């Protein structure tokens, strides 16, 4: 195997290093976070570093870059306490990536990219109408990560909107691939997926067996 | 669209809800974390909730479930300060899933699943020999998430081991799909990936264009 030490990595060009380290931790979610500021101006930005924290209470976390680099989403969440998360499918991937451009605060990424904002009862933040899996979140806690000025943003799930009920298997598994949901890699790559298998709950002394 | 409110969700059976909420946040990494306890006994467990925190310093985070449910990995990291993260490919996915079984502390998941432990200079934790992308981490901080007794574990990258240099593109992007690295969904599903596109760094007023 070829080895790269942290000393090697620290000496690399910052864009090369950024691509490398972003890819190293593997495939991630590809999701658009919708927010609104105190003046009612909507914002939309793509995020990939999203994690499941727990199912009961239903908590989901995401990493927000430093405020100097990416202020709008986190500021809006701090001010309003609400946000939406919307899955990306191949039909909107180019527009979704385009939301990562540094638009001025007064320019909405919806109008800039052609994605359609939609509002629903109980949430002041906009959803992405084209997205087939959408959910509304309420802020629980923002944990500042002191080592690099990023933030771990924890939210509580409020409402889920699915394109159709058939996406949910009899055991609650959501077949997001059937909704076209994609996965992201690094800062700029997007992939469709093909199922290998689902496995039964693993038990010692019993080999992993496939579901179905 | 079909709507599920948090009130609906709270009334579901816990396994149904667990599947649903775990899938909702999207595709994730599929990685084996290797650790060792103070007596030198190795442990290996599959994790999916892994995020990129930053490239300089190179920080990667993961979510560890409550200690009552998943004590070994986090206890070993607290005690030794070191761990390895190893990508999963289709050839080892069944064994990787099997590491999620609740083996007693004294039983190594390596012997139980047939995966091969390998040790390298500077890291007391075991790597997974079959894995094509492996990296060594040093603990930086464990942040307790008070809302559900989980933990956000932050580590600093120390060394990276790749099966071959050709996995790295001229701009630092690691083509992990070419190494067979897979993505996970929910608590039990695994997927291969097909690239849609990489997009140029997005700029306002300029439509997203593909790289290459």
* pLDDT tens per residue across span A159-199: 999 999 999 999 999 999 999 999 999 999 999 999 999 99
pLDDT at B142: 98
Q: CB distance B198–A211 less than 8 Å?
A: no
Q: Are residues B185 and B27 in contact, defined by beta-carbon separation less than 8 angstroms? A: yes
Touching B: A residues 78-107, CB under 8 Å: 85, 87, 90, 93-95, 97-104, 107
pLDDT for B41-84, tens place per residue? 999 999 999 999 999 999 999 999 999 999 999 999 999 999 99
Task: Give the gap in angstroms from C-alpha A179 to the nearest C-alpha of chain B.
Answer: 11
Torsion of CA B155, A13, B32, B184, to 10 degrees: 110
pTM surpassing 0.95? yes
Sort out which chain A residues have CB atoms less than 8 A from B52's CB and list them. Answer: 21-22, 24-25, 28, 48-49, 63
CB contact under 8 A, B4 and A159: yes
A88: buried, middle or exposed (CB in 10 Å: 19+, 13-18, 0-12)?
A: buried
**In the predicted model, what is the mean pLDDT of residues B191-211?**
95
pLDDT tens for A8-30 read 999 999 999 999 999 999 999 99
Residue B212: predicted pLDDT: 74
What is the structure's pLDDT at A212? 74
Token code pair at residue B181: 């690295």
Q: What percent of chain A has pLDDT over 90?
A: 98
pLDDT at B150 over 90: yes
At A27 the pLDDT is 98
Residues forming a β-bridge with B44:
B34
How far, in Å, CA of A58 to CA of B11, rounded?
Answer: 12
Strand, helix or coil for residue B93: helix
DSSP B168: B
Q: Please name the residues between 38 and 57 in chain B that touch chain A, using a CB distance below 8 Å.
A: 48-57
Q: Which residue of B has its CA nearest to A158?
A: B6
Amino acid B25: pLDDT: 98
pLDDT mean across residues, chain B: 97
Mean pLDDT of B157-184: 98
| Minimum distance, in Å, between the CA of residue A16 and any CA atom of chain B | 4
B142 touches chain A (CB under 8 A): no
Query: Distance (Å) from the C-alpha of residue A39 to the closest C-alpha of chain B?
Result: 22
What is the secondary structure of A9-40 as a DSSP string?
Answer: HHTS-HHHHHHHHHHHT--EE-EEEEEE-TTS
Q: Using the beta-carbon criterion (under 8 Å), do B165 and A135 form an inter-chain contact? A: no
Distance from CA of A69 to the nearest CA of B (A): 12
pLDDT of A123 reads: 98
Measure Cα distances from B24 to A86, A151, A211 in Å. 10, 21, 19
Gap from A38 CA to chain B (nearest CA, Å)? 23
pLDDT at residue B82, rounded to an integer: 98
Query: Residue A140: is its pLDDT beyond 80?
Result: yes
Contact state of B157 with A9 under an 8 Å Cβ cutoff:
yes
User: Which of A48, A180, A189 to mutate against chain B (most B CBs within 10 Å)?
Assistant: A189
Terminal C-alpha separation, chain B: 37
Quote the pLDDT of residue A171: 98
């Amino acid at each position: 195997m070829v080895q790269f030490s942290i000393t090697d990595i620290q000496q690399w060009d910052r864009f090369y290093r950024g691509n490398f380290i972003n890819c190293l931790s593997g495939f991630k979610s590809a999701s658009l976070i919708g927010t609104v500021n105190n003046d009612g101006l909507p914002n939309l930005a793509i995020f990939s570093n999203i994690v499941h924290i727990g199912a009961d209470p239903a908590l989901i976390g995401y990493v927000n870059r430093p405020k100097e680099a990416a202020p709008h989403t986190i500021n809006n969440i701090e001010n309003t306490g609400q946000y939406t998360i919307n899955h990306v499918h191949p039909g909107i991937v180019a527009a979704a990536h385009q939301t990562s451009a540094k638009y001025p605060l007064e320019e909405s990424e919806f109008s800039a990219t052609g994605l359609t904002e939609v509002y629903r009862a109980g949430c002041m933040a906009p959803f992405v109408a084209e997205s087939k899996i959408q959910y509304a979140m309420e802020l629980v806690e923002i944990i500042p990560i002191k080592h690099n000025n990023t933030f771990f943003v924890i939210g509580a799930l409020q409402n889920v909107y699915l394109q159709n009920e058939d996406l949910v298997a009899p055991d609650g598994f959501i077949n997001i691939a059937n909704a076209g949901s994609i996965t992201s890699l690094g800062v700029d790559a997007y992939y469709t997926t093909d199922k290998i298998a689902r496995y039964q709950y693993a038990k010692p002394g019993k080999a992993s067996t496939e579901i179905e």
